[in-house]
Amino acid sequence: MAGEQRHVWRIVLRNFINSLRPRQIVGNKMGKDYIGNQYYEIPAKPQEGKRKPTRWYDPPKGQDFQDPIPAEWEAWLRYRRTVPPTEEEVARNVALMQMKQANAAQIETKRLAEGGSLPSRPDKGADSFPSYPDLQPGEKPK
């Protein structure tokens, strides 16, 4: 029994050294979005115990994860959809988003032209809570 040692420290040291080495991960390129992000996937292998595919994206050089990713690709990355989005689907949703932004800008300019003003309601702090004339601070409701 004394001759059967597991060499735990050797295993720990080997795992630590392996963790410092850069890993070369090669995945299947699944697509690219209009921002320039590239999406990859390593398929699941149930026979090896890997039940879910591994998915990730690489942003274009210099952006370093600053821009939000499109909703279709985010749903694919988070396993809410099994099939990656098509370029037509992403283009259709981008056109819809631009149309909504243009309509919102038109409505805002129309509202300001009619004499409307920006809301004067504070967003944060004690003044943002509603006040009721029949209830004073520190008083219990009847």
Q: What is the pLDDT along the chain (142 residues), one digit of tens a residue?
A: 454 567 788 888 888 988 888 776 788 999 998 888 999 999 888 888 888 999 999 888 877 777 788 899 999 999 999 999 998 998 899 899 999 999 999 999 998 888 876 666 666 777 777 777 776 777 776 6
Tell me the C-alpha distance between 70 and 72, whole Å: 6
Residue 34 is predicted with a pLDDT of 86
Residue 117 is predicted with a pLDDT of 67
Long-range CB contacts (within 8 A, 24+) of 79-86: 79/52, 79/55, 84/30, 84/31, 84/39, 84/41, 85/31
Whether 31 contacts 40, CB under 8 Å:
no
Residue 1 is predicted with a pLDDT of 46
Whether 46 contacts 78, CB under 8 Å:
no
Residue 120 is predicted with a pLDDT of 62
Whether 42 contacts 28, CB under 8 Å:
yes
Residue length of the chain: 142
